[in-house]
Amino acid sequence: MGQSGKGRIELFEDFTGPDCPVANAEASTTPGHFIGPFKITGDTVETDTGTVNVDKANGYLRISGNNEDGKGVAIGTNPIFSPVLNGTLVLEARLEMQALTTRVAFAGFCTVNAADVAEPCTSTGTTITAVAAGYAGFLLDSQFTASTQWHMPYYGGATTGVTTGATVACGSGVVAVAAESDVLRIEIDNNGTARWFINGILRQTVAGAVSTTTLLAGLVGCWGTTSTAADADVDYLLVRANRDWTR
Show me where the domains of the chain are located: 8-242
Query: For residue 28, what pLDDT is reported?
Result: 40
Are 76 and 217 in contact by the 8 Å Cβ rule? The answer is: yes
- Burial bucket for residue 208 (CB in 10 Å: 0-12, 13-18, 19+): middle
Q: Is the per-residue pLDDT at 137 higher than 80?
A: yes
Q: Which residues contact 37 (CB under 8 A, 6 or more apart)?
A: 11, 12, 13, 77
Whether CATH 1.10.3720.10 fits 8-242: no
Query: For residue 42, what pLDDT is reported?
Result: 83
Query: How many Cα atoms are found within 13 Å in the side-chain-facing hemisphere of 160?
Result: 5
Query: For residue 189, what pLDDT is reported?
Result: 98
Strand partners, 95: 182, 234
Are 194 and 206 in contact by the 8 Å Cβ rule? The answer is: yes
For residue 28, give the 3-state DSSP assignment: coil
Model's pTM, two decimal places? Answer: 0.92
Q: For 77-119, how does the pLDDT look when each residue is reduced to its tens digit (9 = 90+)? A: 999 999 999 999 999 999 999 999 989 999 999 999 988 788 9
Q: How far is the first Cα of the chain from the last one, in angstroms, to the nearest whole number?
A: 7
Q: Is the per-residue pLDDT at 31 higher than 60?
A: no
